[in-house]
Amino acid sequence: MSSPAPIRAAFRQAIAEAWAGGAGALLPIGFFAGAAMLVPFTVGSEADQLAAIGTGVLWVALALASLVSMERLFQADLEDGTLELWAQEDCPLFLVAAAKILAHWTVSGLPLVLLTPLIGLTLQLPAEQLLPAMLAYGLGGLAFFLWGGVAGALAASVPRGGLLIALLALPLFIPTAIFGALAAEPGTVGPNLLFLAATTLFALAIAPFAASAALRLAVD
Amino acid sequence: MISIFANPHRFMKLSRWLAPACLAVGVALIAWSVWQALWIVPQDDYQGGDIMRALFIHVPSAWLAMGSYMGLALASFVWFIWRHELADMAAKSVAPIGAGYTAMCLATGSIWGKPTWGTWWLWDDARMMSVLLMFFLFLGYMALRAAMDTRQKAARAGAILAMVGAVNVPLIKFSVDIWASIHQGPSVMRMDGPSMPAVYLTPLLIGALGHLIFFASLTMTLMRAEVWRRRGDVIMARKLAGG
């Protein structure tokens, strides 16, 4: 019987790292808010225009912000040998990878979702849209983090792999981004939200295994 | 059956004459279809006059772009399960050629789109989006391989990425189709295959066959180069070891 200890350890460690100096968890938030703040300056500040593109802008900002910290997600564990120890445990590595990604989402993905109503309001989104939008951003952000985790695991042994991670992960974001943006359009929320949830479940089913295969490669 | 093809010596013996033979046949078929396309086939005003002659390059490259990604994923899968080195060489060799055909598909599509649709690029055409994403999947694959410091790592990372990409391709296609059908009615560019007159269909199919054979020749040539490179590495390693 495999022990759940490494899974707990991975989860705890990812949470602790986020607050242990360097402002790890605050970085994506700052990036997210900063990217969204650029938009009124570049496309114009008319309320109608902002309301029309607001949800889409937040999706782009969310996708990019989810990639900001992916480079260090597994690289740090590889460098200090933690990854090697995890690979030797009898606990399946894909569970460790999943725990690590989910913990990372909790500290740097969930805050983004909680921030979306605030930024959404400044982008003139109608207030009644904000709650369903948060649900969509939460689901979609999880899928982004899962695919980003696969790319991060693949690039764990690559120095300065940040841009590589973006190139690998962004095409995999497309289905989630499409259904996420559609779910924000009034009138088509129901089915598109289900499709969005389906892309997240799909990522949840595949990404941990792919990430653990990539981590084994990084350890060898 | 795979193990018959997995022998590098047999592959080198076979590809030594098969690669140039395929090159000759492929180029001949492509030349014939291009000649047909440019001088023989009557122009179709509905598809924009002379510009529709791009069809005979555009459609085969679209087919090969899709096919080559499936080939990449299949070769990656075979390598990942059975660790046949030739499968990895095939995957490595297919990627740049597939990316080239994908780029050619996008380029000819753009050139065709400008006079007929009035624009170089339409973001809301599902097929263009799918092919563009395919291009990025190829780029990511090649970039990942190039970033790895050993050959074994490049092969493993590439195989994982290609398989992850391949399971995502149907989902990407499905979502892009839904998205495009919401944003736009029936596609501007519709080609009903069977109803296409034989005068177009024959050069198209012959041309596609020619590109397929040409593709096979290029792949074999790159694989041969890879075999030579690895042999060269072995010789270098022996020299360094003082042998």
Q: Give pTM, 2 decimals.
A: 0.88
Across the interface, which of A154, A178, A195 has its CB nearest the CB of B161?
A: A154
**Residue B168: closest CA among chain A residues belongs to which residue?**
A172
Predicted confidence at residue B187, as pLDDT, reads 42
Predicted confidence at residue A155, as pLDDT, reads 92
| Whether the complex's predicted ipTM surpasses the cut of 0.90 | no
Closest to A164 in 3D by CA, of B141, B166, B99: B141
Question: What is the Cα Rg of chain A in Å?
Answer: 18
Predicted confidence at residue B95, as pLDDT, reads 95
Using an 8 Å Cβ cutoff, are A179 and A197 in contact? no
Contact across the interface for B144 and A164, Cβ inside 8 Å? yes
pLDDT lower than 50: segments of chain B: 1, 185-189, 192-194
Query: In whole angstroms, what is the distance from residue A1 CA to residue B116 CA?
Result: 65
Predicted confidence at residue B55, as pLDDT, reads 80
Contact across the interface for A175 and B174, Cβ inside 8 Å? yes
Query: In whole angstroms, what is the distance from residue B55 CA to residue A94 CA?
Result: 46
Contact across the interface for A174 and B175, Cβ inside 8 Å? yes
Tell me the residues of B at the A interface, defined by beta carbons under 8 Å apart.
133, 136-137, 139-140, 143-144, 147-149, 153, 156-157, 160-161, 163-165, 167-168, 171-172, 174-176, 178-179, 182
Across the interface, which of B137, B144, B163 has its CB nearest the CB of A171?
A: B137
Query: In whole angstroms, what is the distance from residue B72 CA to residue B199 CA?
Result: 33
At B122-146, the pLDDT tens digits run 766 777 788 888 899 999 999 999 9
Predicted confidence at residue B73, as pLDDT, reads 94
Residue A20 DSSP SS3: coil
pLDDT lower than 70: segments of chain A: 1-3, 20-24, 186-189
For B44, list phi and psi in degrees, rounded to 5.
-115, 110
At A11-68, the pLDDT tens digits run 887 777 777 665 567 788 888 888 888 888 888 778 888 888 888 888 999 999 988 8
Query: In whole angstroms, what is the distance from residue B4 CA to residue B237 CA?
Result: 29
Predicted confidence at residue B188, as pLDDT, reads 43
Contacts of B192 (CB under 8 A, 6+ apart): none
Using an 8 Å Cβ cutoff, are B87 and B6 in contact? yes
